[in-house]
Each structure stands twice: as structure tokens, then as C-alpha cells.
Structure 1
Amino acid sequence: MNLWLLSAGVLTAAVAAIHVILGHVDPVRPLLGSAIAEIPKRTLHAVWHLVSVDLVLGSAALIYLGISQPAGSGLLATALAAHFGAYAAVFLLLTLRLDRPQRAVALPQWLLLLPIAVLSGFGAAA
């Protein structure tokens, strides 16, 4: 058993739950109630759902890799670490571009995604 990957998978499952529950309240509901044109609105709504699916599948993959450690699991774990690291980087860069107090936590998603990347990276190397 690879506890690094298992931990990353459990954390990803928690992030998926947070995304689905809190993400629906803010920003999805305000988005759907906004005056944005219908096609961009539905495109952004679809992207939110795609991220939901991505988080659930990433969680399942990490938990599976952590428990069963099949051949090639290091390569897949490295890819997942890079994947979640890229997600964290995008949110951090967008956060730092905000012009407001406490901007580092204005979009806190990077604080949840970065540990997944780190745990996955350690798991890939284990």
C-alpha cells in the first residue's frame, strides 16, 4: 500500500465534495442567475461539471493506485501530480493577479490542490 497516493486520493475526494457542494452555491448559482449570454453561461456551467468529473476520477485513480500499486503506477501518479500541480498553479496565478486585500486566499482552490500534487509526487517516487 502506498499511503502517499492513498492520502492524495482521499484528499482529492474531499476536494471533489467541497467543489460540488460549495461550488454549486458559489459560483455556479450566481453564474446561472447572471445576465451573461446563454452560450457562455452554459459553457462555464459545463466546465464546472467537467472539473467535478475530473476530481472524482482523479480521486478514484489515486485511491486505486495507493491500494493496489499496479505496474506503471509511478508514471500515472507522476502525471496526476503534474495535473493537480497545474491546477494549483493556475489558481495561484489568477489569485495573485487580483487587486484586493488578502488576495492569496481570495481563490483558495490552490491551497487544496497543491497538497494533492505534492502527495501524488511523493507517492510516485515511493
Structure 2
Amino acid sequence: MNGWLLAAGITALGVAAVHTVGGHRDVVRPLLACKLADEPRRVLHAVWHMVSVDLVLSGLALLYLSLTDGTPGASLVAWFVAVHFIAYAAAFLAITLSVGWPRPLLRLPQWILLLPVAALAAAGAA
């Protein structure tokens, strides 16, 4: 068993839970209630659900990889998940830092949840 990947999988599923519960309250409800045109509003709603699925599937993949440590290709898949969580974190950081908010790193703190998954998955992939 690969403990790093196990920790990454559990953390990713925790991130998925925070996304699902907190995101529904803080993002989805206000999005659906806003006066944005129907098509872009529904596209954003669908994208939110796509991210939910992606977070859950990534967590499950990492859990599976933790149990099948040494399987050919496991390291490549773990690196893929690590890089994709780094990319998610980078997107949040880039958007947050480009807006010009005071104390921007705490306005959209999602990157704080995403980076540990990336670090744990990378440690398990190495």
C-alpha cells in the first residue's frame, strides 16, 4: 500500500465534500438566483457539477492507486492527478491575483485545499 497516495485520495475526497457542500451554498445557489442570461448560467452550473465529478473520480483513482502500488502505469496516473490539481490551484491563484483585491490569497482560498492533494499525489508517484 502506498500511504502517500492513500492520504492524497482521502484528502481529494475531503476537497470534493467541501466543494459539494460549501460550493452549493456559496456558489451554486447565488449563481442560480442571479440575473445572468439562462444559457451561461446553466453552463456554469454544469461546469460546477463537472468539477464535482472530477474531484470525486480523482479521489477514488488515488485510493485505488494506493491499494495497487507497483502496478504498471500507476505512477503515471498519480502524476497526472498531481499535475491537474496543481493546474486547478494555479488557475485559482492566477484569477485571484489578477483582480486586485486586498488580501487576495484569502478571497478565493480553494488553492489551499488543492495543493495538498497535488503534493501528496506527487510524493506517492515518486
Could you tell me the TM-score, scaled by structure 1's length? 0.96
Deviation at 1:83, TM superposition (A): 0.7
Match of 1:108 in 2: 109
- The answer to whether 1:65 aligns with 2:65 is yes
Trace 1:1-126 onto structure 2 (pairs within 5 A): 1-69=1-69, 70-125=71-126
Bigger CA drift: 70-79 or 11-20?
Answer: 70-79
Q: What are the ranges of 5 or more consecutive residues in structure 1 without an aligned counterpart?
A: none
Cα-Cα RMSD: 0.8
**Separation in 1 of the partners of 2:123 and 2:60?**
18
* Number of residue pairs matched by the alignment: 125
Q: Which runs of 4+ in 1 moved over 4 A?
A: none
- What is the alpha-carbon distance in structure 1 between the residues aligned to residue 3 and residue 30 of structure 2? 39
Cα deviations across residues 64-96 of structure 1 (Å, max 9, x unaligned)? 101222221001001111111100100111111
Q: Secondary structure at the match of 2:99?
A: coil
Q: Which amino acid aligns with 2:105?
A: A
Q: Calculate percent identity across the aligned residue pairs.
A: 54
CA distance in 1, matches of 2:66, 2:89: 22
The CA distance in 2 between the partners of 1:72 and 1:32, in whole Å, is 41
* Code of the aligned partner of 2:107: A
Structure 2: 5+ residue runs without aligned partners?
none
Partner of 1:97, secondary structure, is helix
